[in-house]
Each structure stands twice: as structure tokens, then as C-alpha cells.
Amino acid sequence: MLVKLCHGLLRVSTRVLYLEDDALFGETLVDLLEDEGYEVTHFLNGQDALDATFEGRFDLYLLDINVPLIDGISLLNDLRNADDMTPAIFLTSHKDKKMLEKSFLSGADDYIKKPFDNDELLWRLKAVLKRTQKDEPEVVGRLKNDTLHKTISFDNVTLELSKKEYDFLLLLMRHVNEAVPKELILDELWSASSGGSDGAIRVYVNRLKSLLPEVNIENIRGIGYKLVC
């Protein structure tokens, strides 16, 4: 789901469907994941979780196995048979090899045994997402960065940008509502031998402002520049 920043501008977050029938344990894990920036929807039974996959899109499934109505393995089998290839991790107290085999045969990307170390869980989530996610666009309001083709569009119209203009605008997008120091801009856009300067930065800022009159790029005196939303 897209998370509102301000004035209608948006940033992409990672959406997790979490299936766990132990409410207290589930709440603890939800707090952990949300502290890491994940957007988590927690379900106590497999039927509600399955229904939710028809109503919205998720980036990751985190599934217990022994849950009411539809168990986690049957749920994932149903999703895979419906061509839903969303990455999935089983988080379960089962330790026998037969259950491990059934989990991977159902289409799981990983299998984590309870009890687990919180850091290890977070590392495994990040690894699965990095391995399975496609290059999806980064979105900041009406600006969209196509990470695959390295282009930025405004209202779905691709901007004609030089490489430095693209790099500069992307840097501002990734630090939206934060002052980006001139030193960082120079480091990112120019090598030590290529003659970057405050004047060169101003040239690119003016160019971006002329291309994007509806986008607010502020000069933060003595510090740098900020894309404001």
C-alpha cells in the first residue's frame, strides 16, 4: 500500500500479510515489523487471510501452519494454484523434516522455526524480498522513478533529463522533506576531479524547477536543497 506523506504525496511501503492465531504473539511480532517500517495486516485464521488476498495486494506472506479454518500450507497451495507468486515465509513451531518438505513443496520461499531471534527474522525477510521483488517504481507524489529504465515521470509523462538531472532529482526524492546538504549533492553527482560547485548545483536546480514548476524545491540557506511535499 502507498503511505501518505503530506499534501497527497506518497511513498511505497512493504505490505505484509501475517497469519498467526496466537493473538498476543502476533501483536508482539506486528509491533516489531511496524517498527522496521513494514505495513502489517494480521489475521487469526486462514479463511480471512485468503479473502484478504482477493481484496488487496501484498508484498510478502508470513504464515503460521496450524491455524483455524484453512491451515497455512493449504492456504499457500491455494494461492500458488491461483498463480499468486507473492513471496511467502512459514513461521512455525514445527521442526520435523516432513513438515519442512511439505512447506517448500507448497511454494514457500523460507521456513523459520519458533522460537527465533528477532534479528535473524528481519534479515531473512529482507533477503527474501530482495531475491523475489521486481524493480517496482519509487513514487513520491506525482513523481515516479522507474528503477529498471532509470527514468522519472511526472503525472505519468516521462521527463527529458540528463544523467545528472536524473541523479539529482532522484536524490531529492529519496530524501523528500529533508534538507540534502550541498556536500552530499556534490559527492553524489560529481567526482573529485570533475569540477562540481555551488554554481553548478544552482544550474541544475533551476533546470529542474523549469521542468517541474508544480514541484517545490527549496533552497535551505547555508545547507542545501529540499524537495518539499
**For 209-225, what is each residue's pLDDT tens digit?**
999 999 999 999 999 99
Please say whether the beta carbons of 42 and 30 come within 8 A: yes
pLDDT of residue 1: 35
pLDDT at 6 over 80: no
**Rounded CA separation 213/159 (Å):** 13
Decide which of 186 and 193 is more confident: 186
| pLDDT tens-digit readout, 95-104 | 888 888 888 8
State the CATH architecture for 2-132. 3-Layer(aba) Sandwich (3.40)
Please state, in angstroms and rounded to a whole number, the distance separating the CA atoms of residues 121 and 105: 21
Report the phi/psi class of residue 7: left, alpha or beta, with left for phi > 0 and alpha for psi in -120 to 50: left
Cβ proximity of 91 and 5 under 8 Å? no
Domain boundaries along the sequence of the chain:
2-132, 138-228
pLDDT tier at 31, thresholds 50, 70, 90: very high
Q: Rounded to whole angstroms, how far apart are CA atoms 227 and 172? A: 6
Give me the CATH code for the 138-228 domain, please: 1.10.10.10
